[in-house]
Amino acid sequence: MSGSPPPTGGFVRRVGLFQATAINMSQMCGIGPFVTIPLMVAAFGGPQAVVGFVAGAVLALCDGLVWAELGASMPGSGGSYVYLRQAFQYRTGRLMPFLFVWTAMLFIPLIMSTGVVGFVQYLGYLAPGLGRTAGDLIGLGVIALVVILLWRGIEHIARITAVMWTVMVASVLLVIVAAASGFSPHLAFTYPAHAFDLTGAHFWPGFAAGLTIGIYDYLGYNTTAYMGAEVKDPGRTLPRSVLLSILGIMAIYLLLQIGTLGVVDWHRMTDPQDIASTSVASAVLEETWGKGAADTVTVLILVTAFASVFTGLLGGSRVPYDAARDRVFFRPYGKLHPRHRFPVLGLATMGVVTAVGFLIGRHTDLATLIQLLTTVMIIVQALAQIVALTVLRHRQPALRRPYRMWLYPLPSVVAFVGWCVIYGYADRNSPGRHPVEWSLAWVALGCVAYAVWARLERVWPFGPKEISEEYDTPEARRSTTPAK
C-alpha cells in the first residue's frame, strides 16, 4: 500500500504478463457468475439479460483504461490510494486517500459478504430443508471460521490461492460443457415481446440494474494495479493485464450466461420457489448430467465461495494497516499481532462488517447488497479516480506515462456516465432501501472521521499540506523504465 516507488531492497518485480492476467482473472471470477445470472434475468425480464454482461464489459474496459494509464504511470503498490493522493494533495491534502480507505473498509467486506450469501444459497441445493435461521447461523459460522483461520496466521497462502483457482476453473468449465451438451437455441434466443423497446418504461431501469450486476461480476480487473511494485515492465504489463483479463472473463461469462439460458427456462430463474433462482449452476448440471453431477459441482462452488471470502479478507484487512503505516489512517490500524504478524484491528473490523453485510443480504436480497457496495465504491473510488486522471495530466504533465489512454478523453467520459447511471438508478432499483442515501451518509461520516484524525495528526486543514510528487522525478522515471 505504500505510495512510494519501490526502494532498493524492497519489492522485486517478478510478476509477468501471464501471471498478472491470471491474478486479475482469479479475482474477477469467483462465486459471482454462479449467483448473478438469475439476478440479471430478473433485471431485464428475459434472456436479453446477455446485454447486461456486455454492458458491464464495456464499462469495465473504459474504466480499465483509466486504471491502465494511472497504474503504468505510478506503479507502486496501493492502486487508488496512490492515485488519489497524488492528484488531490494540492487542494485537499490527505482527505481523498483517507476517504478511499474509509470506504474500502465498507465495500471490500460487503463484496465478501456476497460470497457468503452465495455459499448459503448453493448449500440450500444440497440441503433443501435448510431454513432461514439455520442458513443465517451457517453463514455467520463461515465468516467466523475464515477470521479464526486468518487470526492464527495462515502460511502457504500461495497454495490456498492455487487450489481456489483450480476449483474455480473446474467449476466454470464443467457448467459450460454441461450447458453445451444440452443447449437449446429456442430457450436461449426466444425473447418476450418488447424486450428491446428502448422507449418503454422498464428498459432503462432494468438496464441500470443489469449494468450494476455486470460491473460487480467484473470487479477485480484492477487487482494488479494494487501490486504495481511487483510487476515487471509495469508500463506495458499493467495495461495489457487489465484489458486481457476483462476480455477473457467476458468470453467466459457470455458462455455461462448463454449456455445457462439454453438449458434452464428463464422463467424458472425468476421464481423464488425454484432452485434455479438461487442455485442456477446446480440446476444446469441436474438438467443435463443428473443429480449426482449437480451435487459434485455444487460442492466445488461451495469451495470456491469459501476460498474467495478467505483470500478477500486476507488482502482487504491489509488496506487500513498499510494506510495507517503510511500516516493516512488511524494509527491503531497499523499494529500487528505480536506473534502471528497480521493486522489485528483491520481483520476484526472487516470480519464484523462482512457479518453485518451477510445478514443484510439474507434479509433483503442479494441485488440490494450489490447496490449498496457499488454505490459506496462509486463516489470515492470510481468517479474520483476518473477525475484524478485529468487532474494529473494537468498538474504533472512531465510525469512519465508509458501508456496513455486510447482516444482520451472518450473512455473516461463513457466510464463516468456508466458509473453515474448505476448511481442514479440505485434507489429506484432498490425501493425502500436507499443505497444512495446510505452511501452519502457513509462518506459524510468519513469526512467527520478525517477531521478528527487530521486534528490529531496536525495535517491539512489543521496543518500544512504535504506535497509529494515522488513519481514525477528523474529517479522515479528511471526506476520504472525497463532495462535494455
Q: What residue type is 133 in one-letter code? A: T
- Cα distance between residue 83 and residue 70, in whole Å: 7
- Residue 135 has what pLDDT? 95
**5 lies in some domain:** no
**70 lies in some domain:** yes
Cα distances from 282 to residues 262, 287, 289, 293, 369, in angstroms, run 14, 9, 10, 9, 23
**181 lies in some domain:** yes
- Residue 362 has what pLDDT? 93
Please, which pLDDT band fits residue 8 given cuts at 50, 70 and 90? very low
Cα distances from 369 to residues 36, 118, 365, 482, in angstroms, run 12, 12, 7, 43
**229 lies in some domain:** yes
Question: Is residue 227 over pLDDT 90?
Answer: no
**12 lies in some domain:** no
**474 lies in some domain:** no
Of all residues in the chain, the percent with pLDDT exceeding 70 is: 92
**Phi and psi based region of residue 473 (left: phi greater than 0; alpha: psi -120 to 50; beta: remaining):** beta
Q: What residue type is 383 in one-letter code? A: L
Question: Is residue 174 over pLDDT 90?
Answer: yes
- Residue 483 has what pLDDT? 38
CB atoms within 10 A of CB 448: 9
Tally the residues of the chain: 484
Question: Is residue 4 over pLDDT 90?
Answer: no
What is the chain's alpha carbon radius of gyration, rounded to the nearest angstrom? 22
* 203-225 average pLDDT score: 90
The upper half-sphere exposure of residue 32, i.e. CA atoms within 13 Å in the direction of its Cβ, equals 25
Question: Is residue 404 over pLDDT 50?
Answer: yes
Mean pLDDT value across the chain: 87
**230 lies in some domain:** yes
| Pair 43, 49: CB distance under 8 Å | yes
Q: What does the pLDDT look like over 411-440, one tens digit per residue? A: 999 999 999 999 999 999 888 889 999 999
CB atoms within 10 A of CB 40: 30
Please, which pLDDT band fits residue 482 given cuts at 50, 70 and 90? very low
Number of structural domains (the chain) is: 1
**Phi first, then psi: what are they for 231, rounded to 5°?**
-100, 130
- Cα distance between residue 70 and residue 129, in whole Å: 50
Q: What does the pLDDT look like over 10-51, one tens digit per residue? A: 456 777 888 888 878 877 877 888 899 999 999 999 999 999
Map grid coordinates 480499465 to a residue.
64
Of 5 and 458, the structure prediction assigns the larger pLDDT to 458
Question: Is residue 478 over pLDDT 60?
Answer: no
Domain of residue 125 covers 19-465
Cα distances from 123 to residues 29, 138, 272, in angstroms, run 19, 10, 16
Q: Which of 458, 357, 313, 379 is nearest to 80 (CA)?
A: 379
Between CA 169 and CA 456, with CA 316 as vertex, the angle to 5 degrees is 170
- Residue 84 has what pLDDT? 92
* 71-93 average pLDDT score: 87
CB atoms within 10 A of CB 330: 18
Question: Is residue 309 over pLDDT 60?
Answer: yes
- Cα distance between residue 484 and residue 478, in whole Å: 12
Question: Is residue 260 over pLDDT 90?
Answer: yes
Q: DSSP 3-state assignment of 77?
A: strand
Q: What does the pLDDT look like over 326-349, one tens digit per residue? A: 888 999 998 888 877 778 899 999
- Residue 90 has what pLDDT? 92
* 380-388 average pLDDT score: 94
- Residue 304 has what pLDDT? 84
Q: What does the pLDDT look like over 92-148, one tens digit per residue? A: 999 999 999 999 999 999 999 999 999 999 999 999 988 899 999 999 999 999 998
> Tell me, what CATH number does 250's domain have?
1.20.1740.10
**422 lies in some domain:** yes
